Amino acid sequence: MATFLYRIGRGAFRRRWLVTLLWAVILGAAGAGAATAPAAGDDGTSFMPGIEAQRAFDLIGERFPGSDADGADARIVFIAPDGEKVTAAGHRAAIDAFVATAGDGPQVANAVSPFAANAVSEDASTAYATVTYEVSSGDLSDTGRSALEKAVDEARDSGLTVEAGGSALSSQPAAGGAAEAVGIGLAAVVLLITFGSLAAAGLPLLTAVVGVGVSICAILALGSALGLSMTTGTLASMLGLAVGIDYALFVVSRYREERGNGHDPREAAGLAVGTAGSAVVFAGLTVVIALAGLSVVGVPMLTKMGLSAAGAVVVGVLVALTLVPALLGMWPDAVLSRTARGRGTAAARRTGGAGGGGSRWARFVLRRPVTVLLACVAGLGVLALPAADLRLGMPGAEAKPVSTTERRAYDALAEGFGPGFNGPLTIVADVRGASAPEAAAATVADAIRDTDGVVSVSPPRFNAEGDTALFSAVPATAPTDERTKDLVQTIRAKRPGLEDGTGATFEVTGSTAMNIDVARALQDALVPYLSVIVLLSLLLLMLVFRSVLVPVKAAVGFLLSVLASLGAVVAVFQWGWGAGLLGVEQTGPVMSLMPIFLVGIVFGLAMDYEVFLVSRMREAYVRGERPAQAVVSGFRHSARVVAAAAVIMIAVFSGFVGSGESMIKTIGFGLAVAVLFDAFVVRMAFVPAVLALLGDRAWWLPRRLERLLPRVDVEGTGLTGRSAPADGDRPAPEPVRG
């Protein structure tokens, strides 16, 4: 592989204008496609096929045609001034006027007055009107939204406090923009400090922006056809920017090193792509496999997110292997440090690969490996403890800032009607097998009404054929309360007895039941998925490093970092520790998708650092250095760049913590702390401590596996002859002291 990539690097350097033009054409074509493509709708109605809540949801759409179970809705809450009631003549007239105006709006299926639907609180301080639409929220026109907003504003002018909940007027966070700008700005500072050259700092940023531009434009162009949401694009942007900068950073860093070894620019570009590029390919492959593996979880939304982000990573790898050497060909000396440009290659050799801080840290760890190892395991173990209390759920209006009308509507309904009113359970009863359908439906409704924890049950509503009944049950507890989850299970446990007694069966759905079922399914999938990821890391790293114990060490380190990051997420977003500092106004269960997604991405990123750092150690070891000296050599060449790459990723991910979207905020925080733990604790301390204790055993591979495993030459042994310095031998390795 190293030889093949070496030729790619030299070819891209030589045909730099053609390569650059090709990427410009690709970016332009993707941009044109994005500009002309229709706007993407929602992710579709089937969130997680196979769970009961989804089956019931699909049954409603089948048995109640025209009702559009996925139609947009708005719940408009009216709150009377202190000491007044919504039933007062003036307030009632204003509410009736709103219902009439909203009902005449475009795409409206129905507008129900609170006075006709008994939707007035006991103290008459609060009431709500329901507006339903013929189309989903993604297909609701701007005219339809504007008409509803105008009716709401007119109702507010009457003196009532009016808040709007539901999907019709749900506020959408701005896509990217500020978060990416913050990440790029911080990355620029880190790169400038690392390289000491504006060109060297700017080149990875430029190529990463090109890669992200291609990826995001492609997602926008395909969004309508494939159902890719705004969240999908944001996550692809987040990962594409982070890995795009990092992959280019490693190639540029190796190019500077090879120039310092006395090679001419074209040869240095070829060697950089042949060595660092090999690590980029395998690091990118681990990320892609981990993200693509999310498709086996069974959540269409998660599959789209994973595959889109994987596509962005592939683009980042291709950019690093082709566009980066092409741009190096245009400005071969600009990326070198000022010292190297001013004094020539001899000075570059003395300064280009110094890495003094990395060498000193490696020697420190090598002198006291047991102490460092125990400190790493104990520290990450303590941070992982909160993960044992992990509770999953899906954030709703309660997780939005109080500045939004959806959150205020949620709070007003909870205060006026009870906390469970915001998450009613929808019951669909199939009475085709009952001899008396109406009596069977009434029996089911009565049984659910008599269940502890149920406040009220609506009268059953039958479809036109009379074989299916629909009604709702209001819990006494909030949608994310653990007691609500227990209530859903209690209701479902009554099904066998009711089916035997009435001949009817029923299923529970609604947003609350859907979130409960999804959370349980994803929590059940977490351990198997984690097991697959760990097994994959063992096999892939065994192929890369031709060792048994190095992959085991990498897998253990990955488990430590991912469990510690999950513990940090639980401590902040579930327990509320420091939540205010991150703008988290409401704590509760961790987003259901978060652990699965975190495991997949952190696996990929952890293997990134493993490959980049340990491949330099492996390279030194196969060229004759002793195990301890190989660790020092790996740190001397890679520690500073790996640290810079980690800081860049932390900066990019941290920029998304400021997002108004709860899902993006949680993922941004989780990934930022995961990179922090994995890069600076696991890879910089745990890894060298374990390798110091293992010695030569770290690179042991049974002979049978030695024969079976193909050689991929990540360390670049096939380029040994080419990588010799052109004007003298390299300096002798520094001795390991202590």
- CB pairs under 8 A, 24+ apart, for 111-120? 114/78, 114/86, 115/87, 120/86, 120/87
Distance between CA atoms of residues 554 and 705, nearest Å: 19
Distance between CA atoms of residues 282 and 313, nearest Å: 12
- Do residues 128 and 71 touch, judged by C-beta distance below 8 A? no
Q: For residue 175, what pLDDT is reported?
A: 45
Distance between CA atoms of residues 326 and 332, nearest Å: 10
Distance of CA 655 to the CA centre of its chain: 13
Q: For residue 513, what pLDDT is reported?
A: 92
Q: For residue 571, what pLDDT is reported?
A: 94
Distance between CA atoms of residues 85 and 125, nearest Å: 5
3-class secondary-structure state, position 248: helix
Distance between CA atoms of residues 564 and 287, nearest Å: 20
Structure tokens at 608: 């990134």
Structure tokens at 618: 């492996």
Distance of CA 67 to the CA centre of its chain: 34
Rg (CA), the chain: 30
Distance between CA atoms of residues 430 and 457, nearest Å: 17
- Do residues 229 and 42 touch, judged by C-beta distance below 8 A? yes
Nearest to 275 by CA among 718, 646, 729: 718
Helical pair 230-260 and 662-677, crossing angle rounded to 10 deg: 30
Q: For residue 354, what pLDDT is reported?
A: 46
Instruction: Count other Cβ atoms within 10 Å, centred on residue 552.
Output: 16
Structure tokens at 466: 């009379």
Residues 6 or more apart whose Cβ sits within 8 Å of residue 535 = none
Nearest to 562 by CA among 531, 522, 589: 531
Residues 6 or more apart whose Cβ sits within 8 Å of residue 450 = none
Instruction: Dump pLDDT digits (tens) for 265-286.
Output: 999 999 999 888 888 898 888 8
Q: For residue 565, what pLDDT is reported?
A: 94
Distance between CA atoms of residues 133 and 337, nearest Å: 63
Structure tokens at 455: 């406040």
Q: For residue 171, what pLDDT is reported?
A: 60
Q: Is 448 exposed, middle or buried (0-12, 13-18, 19+ CB in 10 A)?
A: buried
Instruction: Tell me the three-class secondary structure of 47-59, residue by residue.
Output: CCCCCHHHHHHHH
Q: For residue 41, what pLDDT is reported?
A: 55
Residues 6 or more apart whose Cβ sits within 8 Å of residue 18 = none
**What are the residue ranges in the chain where pLDDT is below 70?**
39-47, 66-70, 171-180, 183, 224, 227, 229-231, 338-356, 660-661, 713-718, 720-738
Q: Are strands 461-462 and 454-457 parallel, antiparallel or unpaired?
A: unpaired
Between the alpha carbon of residue 533 and those of residues 414, 554, 558, the distances in Å are: 42, 12, 10
Distance between CA atoms of residues 230 and 347, nearest Å: 50
Q: Where are the alpha helices (DSSP H) in 570-661?
A: 594-622, 627-655
b/e 72-104 (16+ beta carbons within 10 angstroms → b):
bbbbbbbbbeeeebbeeeebbebbeebbebbbe
Nearest to 458 by CA among 486, 480, 429: 429
Distance between CA atoms of residues 187 and 200, nearest Å: 12
Stated pTM of the model:
0.79
